A and B are shown apart, each in its own frame.
Chain A
Amino acid sequence: MARHFAKRALWSAISLFALVVAVFFMSRMTGSPADLYLPLDAPTEMRVQFEHLHGFDRPVYEQFFSFLGDLLRFDFGMSLRQGLPAIDLVLQALPTTLLLAFYSITIALVVAVVTGALAAWRPNSIFDRIATVLSLIGASLPNFWVAIIGVIVFAVTLRWVPTSGTGSVAQWVLPIAVLALRPAGLIVQVARSSMISVLSSAYVKTARAKGAPSRRILFVHALRNGMLPVITVAGDQAAGIINGAVIVETIFGFPGVGKLMIDSINYRDFAVIQAGVMVTAIAIFLMNVLIDLAYLGLDPRTREEMV
């Protein structure tokens, strides 16, 4: 098993390296930060001075090798925008995003698994149909739209929660709800279909024949096997929540990695983009390890495959 994780770590390190190289060159292909940082009518002399000051006038390969050298010391360089070490900015913003992602995916998972399992208990019942339609809507609505509508309905019309910002618990409600909606919708679909197939399997029929109570059959016998595809999709969604966080954090003014990345991309703050991509990639790698471990716990068959 240790070998399995070592192999996985090696592959991840290779893809991380490829990612870093790609991000380095692709971000620089967008042009010079001087274009965005200086006013449109800045004279050429100022652009030249700006590029020299920040080392963008050096050949790209030279910039790349000094970047690699620094990277070995986990030094991503200074943020162009804020004049602070890029990695510090990312690590400062990371807990907010991780918490946001954690709450969203946990809420999505609990709500969706219960809903999906209940829907699967009696396929085509009224409950199942409502759950299916609502989950389809949830999975298909774009985040930015839900966010704005959420503000109009819950903050402006009903005045239940603040529109945006951080500081109070109430300010987390809308962002979490918006972020949870899409994964919840998808997981309901997956949980429902997976549970339907598990519920029709022989061992569930045996349990029924034995006279086990329905609740026990559904949430103990069936759910354990039904969870495997759910974990895969939930893991995927948890990794993808960073995409949603970009939009949600920007709209709600949340100081997380998503907002930091967008601001950095808008200003071509290369150092922060690179640090952000690296840290996010490592987080996703760790999440994949966690998913593997969850599989191990849930399905003994995977243990043999991994050994």
Chain B
Amino acid sequence: MKKMIRMTGASILALAAMWPALGAAQDTALTIALPAEPANIDGCNTTVTGIGVIVKENIVETLTTISPEDGSIQPRLATEWEDIGDGKYRVSLREGVTFHDGTPFDAEAVAFSIERLQSQEISCLDRTKIAGIEITTDIIDEHTIEIGAAPAQVLMPTLFSFIGVVSPNTPTDALSRSPVGTGPFAFEAWNADGVHVARYDGYWGEAPQVSEATYVFRGESALRAAMVEIGEADIAHDIAPQDAVNPDIDIPFLNGETTRMRIVMLPPLDDIRVREALNLAFDREALLGTILSDRAQIATQFILPNINGHNPDLEPWPYDPARAQQLLDEARADGVPVDREIRLVGRIGFFPNQEEVLQAIQQMWAAVGFSVRLEMMESADWLRLVNRPYPADREAMLIQEQHDNNNGDAAFTMRFRYHTDGQQSEMNNAEVDRLIDTAEQSVGEERTLAFQEANRIIADEVIPAVPMYHMVSYMRVGSSISYEPNVLSLIQLELADITFN
């Protein structure tokens, strides 16, 4: 009996001695609950939401990064860069960096990654960001490389932020599910539990507090939120507003997405009075804090205020149903077929409560005399409507869209959406075309002003859309850690930014 007591006492003591060690080991390991399991986590897909959130700057680093605060370009694996003309940049690479497999990081590795990114053998999604541009490399020495673009790119340093540098041992004929990069975390395993990463001891920069992380995938927002509540996870990514019930741990943040309704400008929507009426009859304030988060912002244009080229002088549309009705009456008197039914096409899955939002707006429009029919579509059907070439028998309609320009500059929005030859443009305005052409070839203030002027003409004189909101997401962050979400957090969640309380 005595012996037993002694033994029990000893084991309690032993356990007590182990406790702090156990505690420390557990405290710096994180579990992050994400909404969907990605197909791969390749270093050439870092700009894709569900992939970048795991890989970008955690496992695979890019040449430059974009600051979430002001959109400025910061050095990462590239330390300096210089425009040497003819579309070429001379880039100095960081020294003393190794990949997780022990291979040294050098100009060869950068050239390899750029070639792989452009390979026709695999579908690297980051290629979307450099579509129509051919990137060439010229190795000068171990840590210097010349990177050229044809046609020449004014935003070359921004393009560098899309180039994830992977180990030269990465396969070139398949997308990788076990990426090897230079980041502060090395890929460990991907199994039924999720994706595991562990702190890389040979990292060139400051060692992060987090020692290891597991990404688990749970489609249900309520379940992700519950996991953080009971300590099974430390971060629940992208939870629905109705699950964000605890203001202490549910953090709203502008997620970089902007929504609007594109107007297909065919009769009766070819008449600008009708388009004005659509905007005036929509009470944007009414939806905030009711079916949308009160932290969402009313948008005046398709890009966020932190993006170069955003025009700060544009005012949100006032809510003026009387004026809307008057404009409609005027148009009707001039023979515009304003009573014709207009389709409003939504794409399923942009944001929570989306259909309710569209129904509310539909009712506001009905109140001033519009006849709008709401149709929700799967993305494949919806894509057929938004991309050129448009069907010949197109009719007037409104298409709900959501867009994220997280790249710091309006160029990633303007040509695509507003230029006469833009893939998703409805416009044909010579002045806007000229301003976009000018802006794309300029730098500094000239660039900014040209984009701002284009945005003014679009918002005030053309009205090709019903601007809606800059959207927010909620992240549930467990009370044992600190993390401040930012506009990039949906596609880039740096474990190194997480600290322990």
Please tell me if A46 contacts chain B, counting CB pairs below 8 Å: yes
Q: Are B193 and A163 in contact (CB under 8 A)?
A: no
- Closest chain B residue, CB of each to CB of A80: B39
Q: Verify if B266 is at the interface (C-beta below 8 Å from A).
A: no
Partner of A251, one of B128, B219, B383: B219
Residue A218 at the chain B interface, CB threshold 8 Å: no
Chain B residues near A (Cβ < 8 Å): 37, 39-40, 47-48, 120-123, 125, 127-128, 131-132, 174-175, 177, 192-193, 216-220, 222-223, 226-227, 229-230, 232, 378-381, 383, 386-387, 416, 423-424
Minimum C-beta distance from B204 to chain A (A): 31
Q: Which residues of B are found within 8 Å of A42, using beta-carbon distances?
A: 125, 128, 131
Q: Which residue in A35, A83, A263 is a CB contact (below 8 Å) of B174? A: A83
Q: Interface code A172-200, partner B: CB below 8 Å = 1, 0 otherwise? A: 00000000000000000000000000000
Q: How far is the CA of A152 from the CA of B220 in the complex (A)?
A: 12
Asked if A253 and B217 sit within 8 Å, CB to CB, the answer is yes
- The 8 Å CB contact of B232, one of A49, A81, A162, is A162
Whether A163 touches B39, Cβ cut-off 8 Å, given contacts A43-B128, A53-B123, is no
Residue of B40, B125, B175, B226 touching A151 (CB-CB under 8 A):
B226
A85 contacts the other chain (Cβ, under 8 Å)? no
A41 in the interface (beta carbon within 8 A): yes
Q: Label chain A's interface by main secondary structure.
A: loop
A206 touches B (CB below 8 Å): no
CA distance A282 to B120 in the complex (A): 38
Specify which chain A residues have a CB less than 8 angstroms from the CB of B383 in the assembled complex: 35, 40
A83-B174, A148-B222, A253-B218 in contact; A44/B423 too (CB < 8 A)? yes
For A80, the chain B residues whose CB sits under 8 A away are 39
Q: Are A81 and B230 in contact (CB under 8 A)?
A: no
| Cross-chain contact B216 with A165 (CB below 8 angstroms) | yes
Is the contact region of chain B dominated by helix, strand, or loop, or is it mixed?
A: loop
Residue count of chain A within 8 Å CB distance of chain B: 42
A-B contact count (CB 8 A): 104
Report Cα–Cα, A103/B18, bound state, in Å. 39
Give every chain A residue within 8 A of B217 (Cβ-Cβ): 253
- Closest residue of B by beta carbon distance from A152: B226
With beta carbons under 8 angstroms apart, the residue of A36, A155, A162, A167 that contacts B380 is A36
Q: List 10 A-B contacts (CB under 8 A).
A: A38-B128, A41-B416, A41-B424, A43-B128, A46-B127, A53-B120, A53-B123, A156-B230, A164-B218, A255-B192
Q: A201-223 vs B: 1/0 string, CB under 8 Å?
A: 00000000000000000000000
Q: Is A45 engaged at the interface, CB distance under 8 Å to the other chain? A: yes
Q: How far is the CB of A44 from chain B (nearest CB, A)?
A: 7
Selected from A40, A43, A167, A267, the residue in CB contact (under 8 A) with B132 is: A43
User: Which one, A50, A159, A167, contacts B123 given CB within 8 A?
Assistant: A50
B220 closest partner in A (C-beta):
A251
**Does A243 make an interface contact (CB < 8 A)?**
no
**Cα of A251 to Cα of B222 in the assembled complex, Å:** 10
Looking at A159, A165, A263, the one whose CB has the most chain B CB atoms below 10 A away is A165
Which residue of B has the minimal Cβ distance to A250? B219
**Given the contacts A156-B226, A267-B39, A148 and B128 also touching, CB distance less than 8 Å:** no
B229 partner residues in chain A, CB cutoff 8 A: 156
Is A167's CB under 8 angstroms from B131's CB?
no
Closest to A269 in B: B39
A255 to B192, CA, bound (A): 6
Q: Are B380 and A31 in contact (CB under 8 A)?
A: yes
Residue of B with least CB distance to A78:
B174
Q: How far is the CA of A40 from the CA of B128 in the complex (A)?
A: 10
Known: A42-B128, A151-B222, A251-B223. 10 other contacts (CB 8 A): A42-B131, A46-B123, A81-B39, A82-B40, A148-B223, A152-B226, A156-B226, A163-B227, A163-B232, A164-B223
**Min distance, Cβ A25 to any Cβ of chain B, angstroms:** 16
A166 touches B (CB below 8 Å)? yes
**Identity of the chain A residue whose Cβ is nearest the Cβ of B171 in the assembled complex:** A83
Bitwise interface map of A from 23 to 63 toward B, beta carbon under 8 Å scored 1, else 0? 00000001110011111111111100110010000000000
